[in-house]
Amino acid sequence: MGMEIERRFLVRDPHTAIERGTAPVQIIQGYFGRIDCLRVRVRIVSCERGSCAAFLTFKGARRGLCRLEYEYPLPLDRARRALDTLPPAQIIRKTRYEVRRGNDSAWSVDSFEGPNIGLVLAEIELAHPNQNIAIPFWIGEEVTFNPRYGNSRLARMPMSRHLADVA
Protein backbone atom coordinates (compact mmCIF):
# COMPACT_ATOMS: atom_id res chain seq x y z
CA MET A 1 0.00 0.00 0.00
CA GLY A 2 1.29 3.45 -0.89
CA MET A 3 0.24 6.95 -0.13
CA GLU A 4 0.42 9.64 -2.79
CA ILE A 5 0.72 13.17 -1.44
CA GLU A 6 0.80 15.79 -4.17
CA ARG A 7 -0.16 19.29 -5.22
CA ARG A 8 -1.10 20.24 -8.79
CA PHE A 9 -0.88 23.58 -10.58
CA LEU A 10 -1.55 25.12 -13.96
CA VAL A 11 1.67 26.23 -15.65
CA ARG A 12 1.74 29.94 -16.41
CA ASP A 13 4.88 29.83 -18.56
CA PRO A 14 5.13 26.41 -20.28
CA HIS A 15 8.13 27.35 -22.43
CA THR A 16 10.26 28.23 -19.38
CA ALA A 17 9.13 25.16 -17.44
CA ILE A 18 9.84 22.75 -20.30
CA GLU A 19 13.14 24.44 -21.11
CA ARG A 20 14.30 23.73 -17.53
CA GLY A 21 13.16 20.10 -17.68
CA THR A 22 15.03 16.88 -18.23
CA ALA A 23 14.71 14.66 -21.29
CA PRO A 24 11.01 14.14 -21.96
CA VAL A 25 9.10 10.90 -21.58
CA GLN A 26 5.92 10.09 -23.48
CA ILE A 27 2.97 8.85 -21.42
CA ILE A 28 -0.14 7.12 -22.72
CA GLN A 29 -2.76 6.17 -20.15
CA GLY A 30 -6.37 5.14 -19.89
CA TYR A 31 -8.92 4.62 -17.14
CA PHE A 32 -11.05 1.53 -16.58
CA GLY A 33 -13.56 2.53 -13.93
CA ARG A 34 -13.39 1.55 -10.27
CA ILE A 35 -12.82 -1.58 -8.22
CA ASP A 36 -13.58 -1.37 -4.49
CA CYS A 37 -13.59 2.45 -4.63
CA LEU A 38 -10.18 2.50 -6.33
CA ARG A 39 -9.83 4.04 -9.82
CA VAL A 40 -8.04 1.70 -12.25
CA ARG A 41 -5.43 3.09 -14.67
CA VAL A 42 -3.09 1.52 -17.22
CA ARG A 43 -0.06 3.62 -18.21
CA ILE A 44 2.74 3.16 -20.73
CA VAL A 45 5.84 5.32 -20.35
CA SER A 46 8.21 5.62 -23.32
CA CYS A 47 11.63 7.09 -22.69
CA GLU A 48 13.79 8.97 -25.17
CA ARG A 49 16.13 6.00 -25.63
CA GLY A 50 13.28 3.79 -26.85
CA SER A 51 12.68 1.87 -23.63
CA CYS A 52 9.12 1.39 -22.44
CA ALA A 53 7.54 0.40 -19.15
CA ALA A 54 3.90 -0.25 -18.30
CA PHE A 55 2.02 -0.03 -15.02
CA LEU A 56 -1.33 -0.96 -13.56
CA THR A 57 -2.35 1.59 -10.94
CA PHE A 58 -5.18 1.74 -8.42
CA LYS A 59 -5.91 5.15 -6.86
CA GLY A 60 -8.18 5.94 -3.97
CA ALA A 61 -10.30 9.03 -3.42
CA ARG A 62 -8.45 12.18 -2.45
CA ARG A 63 -8.53 13.03 1.26
CA GLY A 64 -6.96 16.46 1.43
CA LEU A 65 -3.63 16.20 -0.36
CA CYS A 66 -3.44 12.43 0.21
CA ARG A 67 -4.77 9.39 -1.57
CA LEU A 68 -4.03 5.69 -1.57
CA GLU A 69 -2.03 4.54 -4.57
CA TYR A 70 -1.02 1.01 -5.54
CA GLU A 71 1.18 0.62 -8.63
CA TYR A 72 2.33 -2.62 -10.23
CA PRO A 73 4.51 -3.37 -13.28
CA LEU A 74 2.48 -4.69 -16.19
CA PRO A 75 3.77 -6.54 -19.26
CA LEU A 76 3.89 -4.09 -22.15
CA ASP A 77 1.81 -6.26 -24.49
CA ARG A 78 -0.98 -6.53 -21.88
CA ALA A 79 -0.94 -2.78 -21.31
CA ARG A 80 -1.23 -2.13 -25.05
CA ARG A 81 -4.09 -4.63 -25.38
CA ALA A 82 -5.91 -3.04 -22.45
CA LEU A 83 -5.53 0.49 -23.85
CA ASP A 84 -6.70 -0.73 -27.25
CA THR A 85 -10.10 -1.57 -25.69
CA LEU A 86 -10.75 2.10 -24.89
CA PRO A 87 -12.09 4.63 -27.39
CA PRO A 88 -9.13 6.69 -28.68
CA ALA A 89 -10.73 9.89 -27.35
CA GLN A 90 -10.50 8.48 -23.80
CA ILE A 91 -6.76 7.96 -23.92
CA ILE A 92 -4.59 10.60 -22.25
CA ARG A 93 -1.40 11.41 -24.13
CA LYS A 94 1.16 13.72 -22.64
CA THR A 95 4.84 14.53 -22.57
CA ARG A 96 6.38 14.72 -19.10
CA TYR A 97 9.42 16.73 -18.11
CA GLU A 98 11.09 16.61 -14.70
CA VAL A 99 12.16 20.00 -13.37
CA ARG A 100 14.45 20.13 -10.32
CA ARG A 101 14.72 23.19 -8.11
CA GLY A 102 17.61 23.14 -5.65
CA ASN A 103 16.90 20.83 -2.73
CA ASP A 104 13.18 20.80 -3.50
CA SER A 105 11.58 17.64 -4.78
CA ALA A 106 11.30 17.38 -8.53
CA TRP A 107 8.33 18.94 -10.30
CA SER A 108 6.63 16.89 -13.01
CA VAL A 109 5.46 19.08 -15.88
CA ASP A 110 2.90 17.47 -18.20
CA SER A 111 2.19 18.92 -21.63
CA PHE A 112 -1.02 17.31 -22.88
CA GLU A 113 -1.73 16.26 -26.45
CA GLY A 114 -4.83 15.21 -28.39
CA PRO A 115 -8.15 16.53 -27.07
CA ASN A 116 -6.35 18.20 -24.14
CA ILE A 117 -3.72 19.93 -26.27
CA GLY A 118 -2.54 23.21 -24.83
CA LEU A 119 -3.08 22.15 -21.23
CA VAL A 120 0.14 22.12 -19.19
CA LEU A 121 0.05 21.01 -15.55
CA ALA A 122 2.78 20.73 -12.94
CA GLU A 123 2.67 18.54 -9.87
CA ILE A 124 4.96 17.99 -6.97
CA GLU A 125 4.97 14.94 -4.72
CA LEU A 126 5.35 15.71 -1.04
CA ALA A 127 6.86 13.76 1.85
CA HIS A 128 4.00 14.90 4.12
CA PRO A 129 0.86 17.04 3.71
CA ASN A 130 2.27 20.05 5.58
CA GLN A 131 5.52 20.21 3.64
CA ASN A 132 6.47 23.73 2.58
CA ILE A 133 7.47 24.15 -1.05
CA ALA A 134 8.92 27.02 -3.03
CA ILE A 135 6.62 27.83 -5.93
CA PRO A 136 8.61 28.60 -9.12
CA PHE A 137 7.68 31.77 -11.02
CA TRP A 138 6.41 29.72 -13.98
CA ILE A 139 3.68 28.11 -11.85
CA GLY A 140 0.14 29.48 -12.00
CA GLU A 141 -3.10 28.71 -10.19
CA GLU A 142 -3.27 25.69 -7.88
CA VAL A 143 -5.79 23.10 -9.11
CA THR A 144 -5.15 20.28 -6.62
CA PHE A 145 -8.76 20.25 -5.47
CA ASN A 146 -10.38 21.09 -8.82
CA PRO A 147 -11.67 17.75 -10.18
CA ARG A 148 -11.82 18.95 -13.79
CA TYR A 149 -8.00 18.83 -13.91
CA GLY A 150 -7.75 15.22 -12.77
CA ASN A 151 -6.41 12.89 -15.46
CA SER A 152 -9.34 10.51 -15.20
CA ARG A 153 -11.76 13.42 -15.76
CA LEU A 154 -9.64 14.76 -18.63
CA ALA A 155 -9.90 11.31 -20.26
CA ARG A 156 -13.72 11.39 -20.10
CA MET A 157 -14.24 15.14 -20.60
CA PRO A 158 -11.25 16.65 -22.38
CA MET A 159 -10.31 20.25 -21.77
CA SER A 160 -11.48 21.17 -25.29
CA ARG A 161 -15.03 20.22 -24.19
CA HIS A 162 -14.74 22.38 -21.05
CA LEU A 163 -13.65 25.34 -23.16
CA ALA A 164 -16.51 24.77 -25.62
CA ASP A 165 -19.02 24.71 -22.74
CA VAL A 166 -17.74 28.09 -21.51
CA ALA A 167 -17.82 29.74 -24.97
In the 8-state DSSP scheme, what is residue 68?
A: E
Q: Which of 31, 70, 72, 149 is catalytic?
A: 31
Residue 144 CB burial class (10 angstroms; 0-12, 13-18, ≥19): middle
| Catalytic residue list contains 149 | no
Which amino acid type is present at position 15? H
Q: Round the CA-based radius of gyration of the chain to a whole number and report it.
A: 16
Contacts of 166 (CB under 8 A, 6+ apart): none
Contact between 57 and 125 (Cβ < 8 Å): no
Helix%, strand%, coil% for the chain, nearest 5:
25, 45, 35
Which amino acid type is present at position 129? P
Which residues are identified as catalytic? Answer: 31
